Amino acid sequence: MTALLTIIVLLLVAIAIWQMTKIFELSQVGTENSQIANDKDNKINGYLMFGFLIFIYLLTIYSFWEWGDVLLGTPASKHGPEYDSLMHISMALIFFVQIVTQALLYFFAYKYRGQKGKKALFYADNDKLEFIWTIIPVIVLAGLILYGLFTWTSLMDIDEEEGDPIIIELYAQQFNWKARYAGADNVLGKANVRLIDINKNNVLGIDETDPYGQDDVVSQTELHLPVGRKIIFKMRSQDVLHSAYMPHFRAQMNCVPGMITQFSFTPTITTEEMRMDPGIAEKVQHINKIRAKRRANGDDNADPWEFDYVLLCNKICGPSHYNMQMKIVVETQEEFDAWMKEQDTFKKTIAAAE
């Protein structure tokens, strides 16, 4: 069906092109054929320039109207709103500049389309004008740079002493994620890929002799986070570059083999609460409608969807890069503690393997 539709579309386009060529050719009858634009070409293309300006505006409006709701929605971390407001300000600015400059560009192209005998204005320089449009970007950008740098500094300021953080290691490998919690002492045990021992179920290469590592907890399926608690992620990778991308929290950091990278944020909305968020609820409803349609067609991968936070890999890491994910569950401290209790500590896992 799709193939047929594609072929039809392509055929129609080909016919349209053929017809357009004919129109252009016919409109040339009786004029000299120098292949250099004449008044008629200038006129047609001048009008088309104006039409194109309208096309860009319509495309912008249509995109917002049709796809404005696909975006990520309410940020779920403490720094998220800060991030979003910087984004909104920057966006407002670039849309303003975009609308004005494109209008000038295409309007001039239309207004001053050539005519035989018309005189162009010899206008080579104007220091004042150039000064103005150098200094305005300078001032605006200075503001943006400063605002951006303040936000960046506050985002990347990772202080382990302050705010009672939980330390969690995100461990990346082709093609899945694992999470290691620092346990009761909140200190991660030493680890290195050279210590990996699959037989003993020590998949993260935790140093068995390090006392700090004994109470560490490894989760291979889900990443649980308590709401309202500062979390410091320490990222590690065992094979190639990966990137831990948690779009709902406005968080991302690469995982680099041979190195520990870090990122910190405080989740503010539990998974349950986020499902109630009007924007998210609407999105889920919309997507479930799409999935219902697919189900009706008998496609697989069409079960109803329930919103969950997700951790994606966002650095090309191999053939299955597109499916390297982990579910994130943000819950209350009590729920988190209860979940934690069910997990085996590293000491227990090792003992069980032996």
Partner 1 sequence: MSATAAQGHSEGHAHDHGHHHKETFITKYIFSQDHKMISKQYLITGLIMGVLGIAMSLLFRMQIAWPGESFKIFEVLLGKWAPEGVMDPNIYLALVTIHGTIMVFFVLTQGLSGTFSNLLIPLQIGARDMASGFMNMISYWMFFLSSVIMVLSLFVEAGPAAAGWTIYPPLSALPQAMGGSGMGMTLWLVSMAIFIASSLLGSLNYVVTVINLRTKGMSMTRLPLTIWAFFVTAIIGIVSFPVLLSAALLLIMDRSFGTSFFLSDIFIQGEVLHYQGGSPVLFEHLFWFLGHPEVYIVLLPALGITSEIIATNSRKPIFGYRAMVASILAIAFLSTIVWGHHMFISGMNPFLGSVFTFTTLLIAIPSAVKAFNYITTLWKGNLQLNPAMLFSIGLVSTFITGGLTGIILGDSALDINVHDTYFVVAHFHLVMGISALYGMFAGIYHWFPKMFGRMLNKNLGYIHFWITAICAYGVFFPMHFVGMAGVPRRYYTNTNFPMFDDLTNIQVVMTVFALIAGLAQLIFAWNFIHSIFYGKKAPQNPWNSNTIEWTTPVEHIHGNWPGEIPEVHRWAYDYSKTNEDGEYVIPGQDFVPQTLPLQENEEELNH
**Considering only 26-34, 162-170, 224-232, 340-348, which stretch makes contact with partner 1 by CB under 8 A?**
26-34
* Alpha-carbon dihedral angle through residues 239, 243, 245, 250, given to the nearest 10 degrees: 150
Cβ-in-10-Å burial (0-12, 13-18, 19+) of 138 comes to exposed
Of 8, 17, 92, 292, which one interacts with partner 1 (CB under 8 A)?
Answer: 17
Between 55 and 163, CB nearer to partner 1? 55
Please identify, using beta-carbon distances, which residue of 182 and 251 lies nearer to partner 1: 251
Strands 217-219 and 176-181: antiparallel
In angstroms, give the least distance from the CB of 313 to partner 1. Answer: 7
Residue 276 in the binding site for partner 1 (CB under 8 A): no
Q: Which two tokens stand for residue 344?
A: 């085996």
Token pair in block for residue 113:
């389309």
CA angle 115/117/118 to nearest 5° reads: 60
In the range 162-181, which residues lie near partner 1 by CB under 8 A? 173-174
Q: Which is nearer to partner 1, 230 or 242 (CB)?
A: 242
| 7 belongs to the binding site for partner 1 (CB under 8 A) | no
User: What radius of gyration do the chain's Cα atoms show?
Assistant: 29
Say which residues have a Cβ less than 8 Å from residue 50's Cβ, sequence separation at least 6: 106, 107, 109, 110
**Among residues 50, 57, 74, 83, the one that binds partner 1 under rule CB under 8 A:** 83
| Interaction of residue 137 with partner 1, rule CB under 8 A | yes
Residue 268, CA atoms < 13 Å, CB-side half-sphere: 13
Rounded distance, CA 296 to CA 354, Å?
51
**315 contacts partner 1 (rule: CB under 8 A):** yes
The residue type found at 297 is N
Question: Tokens 């505006």 correspond to what residue?
Answer: 57
Peptide bond into 175 cis (omega under 30): yes
Q: From CA 52, how far away is CA 59, in angstroms rounded? A: 10
Residues 242, 275: Cα–Cα separation, whole Å: 28
297 binds partner 1 (CB under 8 A): no
Find the binder of partner 1 among 184, 209, 221, 322 (CB under 8 A). Answer: 322
287 touches partner 1 by CB under 8 A: yes
Q: Least separation, in Å, of the C-beta of 95 and partner 1?
A: 8
SS3 265: strand
Region binding partner 1 by CB under 8 A among candidate stretches 119-127, 206-214, 225-233, 268-276: 119-127
**Binding range to partner 1, per CB under 8 A, among 91-99, 181-189, 212-220, 266-274:** 91-99
Contact between 56 and partner 1 by CB under 8 A: the answer reads yes
As measured in angstroms, the least distance from the Cβ of 130 to partner 1 is 5
- Residues binding partner 1: what is the number (CB under 8 A)? 131
Place of tokens 């392509």: 10
**Site for partner 1, residues 34 to 53, rule: CB under 8 A:** 34-37, 41-42, 44-46, 48-49, 52
Which of 152, 209, 276, 333 binds partner 1 (CB under 8 A)? It is 152
124 binds partner 1 (CB under 8 A): yes
Residues 180-239 that bind partner 1 (CB under 8 A): 192-194, 196, 198, 205, 235, 238-239
- How long, in residues, is the chain? 354
Q: Which of 25, 159, 160, 337 binds partner 1 (CB under 8 A)?
A: 25
Q: Are 324 and 177 in contact (CB under 8 A)?
A: yes
Among 4, 30, 65, 71, binds partner 1 (CB under 8 A): 71
